[in-house]
Amino acid sequence: MEFIAITCPACWQSLEIESPTFSDQPIIMTTDCEVCCRPMVVTVEYVDPNDDPMVSVEPES
């Protein structure tokens, strides 16, 4: 199982989440921060299935 590192946009804590796979695209996930419990929206975009994905995190509005 692969994990990707993200940073919580609310408290800046580094977190690891289970990485989706290339075939899961398009990937937009909502997850709660383990530290501050605030929800965030994580978007994962694979450019190449053999490369690490681009990951962006935004606070849920």
Sites of contact with Zn ion (CB under 5 A):
8, 10-11, 13, 33, 35-36
Q: CA distances (Å), 8 to each of 24, 37, 46, in order?
A: 22, 10, 21
Closer Cβ to Zn ion, 24 or 32, answer by number: 32
CB of 20 to Zn ion, least distance (A): 20
Q: Which is nearer to Zn ion, 10 or 55 (CB)?
A: 10
Asked if 5 and 15 count as a contact pair (C-beta separation under 8 A), the reply is yes
Using the minimum distance from each CB to Zn ion, give the nearer residue, 42 or 46.
42
Phi, psi angles (nearest 5°) of residue 32: -100, 140
